[in-house]
Amino acid sequence: MVEQPVSTPLALTNDGTLEIVFLGTGTAFARRLFQTNLLIIKGEEHILVDFGMTGPQALQSLGLSAMDIRTILPTHSHSDHIGGLEYLTLVNRYFARPSGKDKLNMIITDEYRPLLWEMSLRGGLEYNEQNAEGRRLSFEDLYTTHVPQPITVEPRSIFSIMMNGIKLELFHTNHIPGEADSPKDAFITYGLLIDDRVFFSGDTKFDRDLIDMYADRAEIMFHDASMTPNQVHAWIDDLRGIPEDIRAKMFLVHYQDELTDDAATDFAGLAKQGVRYLFP
């Protein structure tokens, strides 16, 4: 992996190299950092993974705007991951599409789509300026849907999709509630294996089985980390207990504002905003 500083505006296309850029690396409550959302870029394709409340400002810091985003993949329904989604959708509907751009692509499983729409997005998006004519908007009016297909349910649910040359494997994580003992008991939350090379935990408690499942296949692992014991995120002291060779390729992400590089000396480091992670 090669790290390069972002130069603005960040290009959303490249020569075909897999590229990861974090819009932010902070927690849901971050005030200095932006929230943990990321862009996957490869060739002509880009996929925005999550878009929280800080998403619009984070895009601006990269010299981009919501107008530039073509494809979104929401991992779960917390506000630091979908809090900017209504905004992104309305920018697409009122500005991008009238200027000739396509409907927003959304990568979402069949199991998660009804939850995201009925419990989160519908309230702000269904009613619109056309309601006087009796017409409400549906999910399909707003998004072109791309559905990852299930490949297994044991020991946890895994889905897969190929999106214009970017292969994504979505796996269930055990994030909430605190009492859930396994992903099967937990609310739907996904992590990702990107192009069979890069692991992104998404939001998860410490889950040794998950790490073991992907450690061999992943060149680099970006893992959720909390500096203090936490009911719904991975505590760094638990992560310190995994083998050294796995820690050596693990970057911590979704961390508190105050965190410095000193905290991550047992790992590959902290994932950083403003860096292009390139996988030639």
Contact indicator for 278, 4 with CB cutoff of 8 Å? yes
DSSP 66-83: GGG--EEE---SSHHHHT
Q: Toward Zn ion, which CB reaches closer, 56 or 191?
A: 191
Identity of the residue, 18 or 52, whose beta carbon is nearer to Zn ion in the bound complex: 52
CA angle, 20 as apex, 63 and 175 as ends, to 5°? 110
Q: How far is the CB of 37 from Zn ion (least distance, A)?
A: 12
Could you say whether residue 169 binds Zn ion (CB under 5 A)?
no
Q: What angle do CA 234, 238, 240 make, to 5 degrees?
A: 115
For residue 203, the minimal CB distance to Zn ion (Å) is 4
Bridge partners of residue 161, in order along the sequence = 168
SS3 readout for 26-49? ECCCCCCCCECEEEEEECCEEEEE
Find the shortest distance in angstroms from Cβ 166 to Zn ion: 23
The nearest distance, CB 80 to Zn ion, in angstroms, is 7
Q: Are strands 71-73 and 104-107 parallel, antiparallel or unpaired?
A: parallel
Instruction: Label the pairing between strands 166-172 and 190-194.
Output: antiparallel
Task: Choose the stretch contacting Zn ion; rule: CB under 5 A; options: 7-15, 16-24, 195-203, 256-264.
Answer: 195-203
78 touches Zn ion (CB under 5 A): yes
Output the six-digit token pair for 173: 């994580």
Segment near Zn ion (CB under 5 A), from 34-42, 180-188, 196-204, 267-275? Answer: 196-204
We find the least distance from the C-beta atom of residue 29 to Zn ion, in angstroms, to be 11
Query: Of the two residues 46 and 76, which places its CB atom closer to Zn ion in the complex?
Result: 76
Q: Which is nearer to Zn ion, 28 or 161 (CB)?
A: 28
Q: For the CB of residue 71, give the shortest distance to Zn ion in the complex, in Å.
A: 21
CB-nearer residue toward Zn ion: 77 or 273 = 77
d(CA 110, CA 18): 27
**CA–CA distance, 233 with 225 (Å, rounded to integer):** 6
Which of 55, 68, 62, 70 shows the shortest CA–CA distance to 10? 62
**Cα-based distances in Å from 157 to 3, 31, 109, 160, 163:** 32, 34, 11, 10, 20
Per the document, the length of the chain is 280
Write down the least CB distance from residue 186 to Zn ion, Å.
11
Nearer to Zn ion, 56 or 74 (CB): 74
Contact 77, 115 (CB under 8 A): yes
Number of residues that bind Zn ion (CB under 5 A): 2
Nearest distance from C-beta of residue 81 to Zn ion, angstroms: 6
> Of residues 50, 203, 207, 224, which one binds Zn ion by CB under 5 A?
203
Toward Zn ion, which CB reaches closer, 78 or 276?
Answer: 78
Nearer to Zn ion (CB atom), residue 173 or residue 273: 173
Binding site for Zn ion (CB under 5 A): 78, 203
